[in-house]
Amino acid sequence: MLEKTVRKSTRHSSRHVLRDQLLRWMVYATVAVISLVFLWILFDLVRGGATHLSWRFLVEPPRDAGRAGGIGPILVSTLLIVLVALVSALPLGWSTAILLSEFVPVASRPGQVIRFSLQVLASIPSIVFGLFGNAFFSIYLGMGFSILSGGLTLACMLLPILVSTAEAGLRSVPEHYRLSGAALGLSRAAVLFHLLLPAAIPAWVAGLLLGIGRAAAETAALLFTSGYVDRMPESLLDSGRALALHIFDLSMNVPGGDAPAYASALVLVMLLLLINTSALLLMQRWQRKRIEST
């Protein structure tokens, strides 16, 4: 009887080991496929645009509909649009996440309405956001085709991403953090700022990076809000062409614009990689210092 039990336990353990190995190799295969796809796209961009890429290309204004010159004003417009979007969306999105996570129960009616609204916002196509931004910001508020109009439109698009990732980060913090703070006599605000937010920083940074990536790569929404003008903007009320929109225009509407389009796409990918890498390194450095200080 004991022998049968041991044999049965061994078979059961072997099945668990086999299943764990299978899942591990599936994860490795998924990572390999995703990495190969990214490297293939990056190789294609480098092959098509590396010869066109130079310092002059990064600082000069475009000429001959983008076939010659560079992308200096377009880079400035893109950075300003992303900055306006983040400055507008981050305070509202993160404060909403704190409210939903810490003060609004999941089963409450207001919480259900807000979360459902965020899900609807996340599923709306970007072209619809562009039409809304054109009608509300550009026409109704009188901003016209401007960097400010495009940035505020992108802010509306970023809200679901920022709120959902920040709320998920706060809800993933173990409950004993809150109980320990209450046992020590800390206020809810002190528990939030000294215990919960530092623990949820990785999720907040991930949401921020997703927001930056979507804002920098957006095309359809900016087509109706920020405009097509490729000159250097002098204020936020000037029209400015975003880099993704410039790539679309060169590849679809400008004969002979493939080389500058590839170079512009390569710059966009490198810019996103630089932002993501810098943010992750800063987060890791901050967490390391925080651990060492404790």
Same-domain status, 135 and 218: yes
What is the predicted pLDDT for the residue at 2? 45
Q: Greater confidence, 38 or 16? A: 38
pLDDT at residue 135 above 60? Answer: yes
What is the predicted pLDDT for the residue at 133? 92
pLDDT at residue 3 above 70? Answer: no
Same-domain status, 9 and 134: no
Q: Residue 208, SS3?
A: helix
Task: Locate 190 and state its tokens.
Answer: 């002190």
pLDDT digit string, tens, across residues 94-113:
998 888 888 887 778 888 88
Give the confidence band of 87 by pLDDT, cuts at 50, 70, 90: very high
Same-domain status, 95 and 170: yes
Of the ranges 7-11, 56-60, 147-151, 258-262, which one carries the lowest mean pLDDT score?
7-11
Q: What is the mean pLDDT of residues 112-140?
A: 89
Q: Which domain holds residue 167?
A: 55-293
Mean pLDDT of the chain: 85
Same-domain status, 59 and 148: yes
Same-domain status, 195 and 288: yes
What is the predicted pLDDT for the residue at 184? 80
As a whole number of angstroms, the distance between CA 240 and CA 62 comes to 13
Q: What is the mean pLDDT of residues 261-268?
A: 89
Q: What is the mean pLDDT of residues 186-199?
A: 82
As a whole number of angstroms, the distance between CA 197 and CA 193 comes to 5
What is the predicted pLDDT for the residue at 10? 60
Same-domain status, 142 and 233: yes
- Name, in order, each residue with C-beta under 8 angstroms of 188's C-beta and a sequence gap of 6 or more: 102
Same-domain status, 46 and 67: no
Same-domain status, 200 and 240: yes
Q: What letters, b where the CB count within 10 A reaches 16 and e where it falls short, cover 216-226? A: bbbbbbbbbbb
Cβ atoms 241, 226 nearer than 8 A: yes
Q: What is the mean pLDDT of residues 163-170?
A: 88
Same-domain status, 186 and 284: yes
pLDDT at residue 245 above 60? Answer: yes
Query: Which neighbouring-strand residues pair with 63?
Result: 68
pLDDT at residue 171 above 90? Answer: no
**pTM for the full model?**
0.84
Among 108, 93, 119, residue whose Cα is nearest residue 215: 93
Last residue of a domain, one of 52, 69, 87: 52
What is the predicted pLDDT for the residue at 51? 84
Q: What is the CATH number of the domain that holds 266?
A: 1.10.3720.10
Cβ atoms 75, 58 nearer than 8 A: yes
According to DSSP H, which parts of the chain are helical?
2-49, 55-59, 72-102, 109-123, 126-133, 147-171, 175-183, 188-191, 197-216, 220-223, 243-253, 258-293
Q: Greater confidence, 110 or 146? A: 146
Q: What is the mean pLDDT of residues 233-249?
A: 89
Share of the chain above pLDDT 70, in %: 93
Same-domain status, 30 and 69: no
Give the confidence band of 76 by pLDDT, cuts at 50, 70, 90: very high
What is the predicted pLDDT for the residue at 146? 92
Q: What is the DSSP letter of 125?
A: -
Q: Which amino acid is at 146?
A: S
pLDDT at residue 38 above 50? Answer: yes
pLDDT digit string, tens, across residues 15-32:
777 888 888 899 999 999
Q: Greater confidence, 198 or 133? A: 133
Same-domain status, 97 and 230: yes
